[in-house]
Amino acid sequence: MARQRAFTKTELLDATEELLLERGYDGFHLKALSEKLNGARSTIYEYFSNKDEIVAACMRRTMEQMLAACTAIENLPPMLALKKTLVIFLEQAHFHKLMLAAPKVDQTASEKAKVDLLYLDQGHMELKAQLMALFEKAKQEGLIRADIPLPVIVAVFFHAIETPNWLELPAEQWAEMLFKLWLDGGNRE
């Protein structure tokens, strides 16, 4: 029998993220996680009590990364910050797919899972507030159209993130194209 290796919490959360993206919440289980890590399930329990704790911790870590990246650019000029936000969101395209597991996590399974899910909710509100402030500032400075309601502008911006990158361009280049299309539309100038 092959010797099972020890793994770190970071490796555990990385493997959890990969499995959640591959299989979704319903297809994620601790046996598959231990196999992916080539480690004992008992080692998983050194870090987390159950599946819901692991999934909630994985989502929290992703939200922390998104918040840190977006906070780092919030003081840039609004259009540059919006462009960089688009790059961040494209580079972290898995973020939305990963967050689909949140409603399935049993908050009663553990206090840690409940706290992490609360953090996710607060993180979403913080991201939304940061972005709305950027869009509002851009609108006040006359950098985006005043005749279109802000929620429409924001909705189109967010849907740009879901545009398939059929050209397989690097995130920065793809973001530049999408940003220009979002800002200028299909007009030739």
Alpha helix ranges (H) inside 6-110: 9-27, 30-37, 41-47, 51-71, 78-91, 94-99
| pLDDT, tens only, 42-63 | 889 989 999 999 999 999 999 9
The fold adopted by the segment(s) 1-47 is Arc Repressor Mutant, subunit A (1.10.10)
Task: Output helix, strand, coil percentages for the chain, rounded to the nearest 5.
Answer: 70, 0, 30
Residue extents of the structural domains in the chain: 1-47, 59-184
Low-confidence ranges of the chain (pLDDT < 70): 1-5, 186-189
Global confidence as pTM: 0.85
Cα–Cα distance, 85 to 158 (Å, whole number): 10
Domain 1-47 shares a fold with domain 59-184: no
Q: Hey, what amino acid is at 101?
A: A
Q: What is the pLDDT of residue 187?
A: 67
Q: What is the pLDDT of residue 1?
A: 45
Q: 31: left (phi > 0), else alpha (psi -120 to 50), else beta?
A: alpha
Q: What is the pLDDT of residue 42?
A: 86
Q: What is the pLDDT of residue 166?
A: 94
Q: What is the CATH number of domain 59-184?
A: 1.10.357.10
Q: What is the pLDDT of residue 153?
A: 86
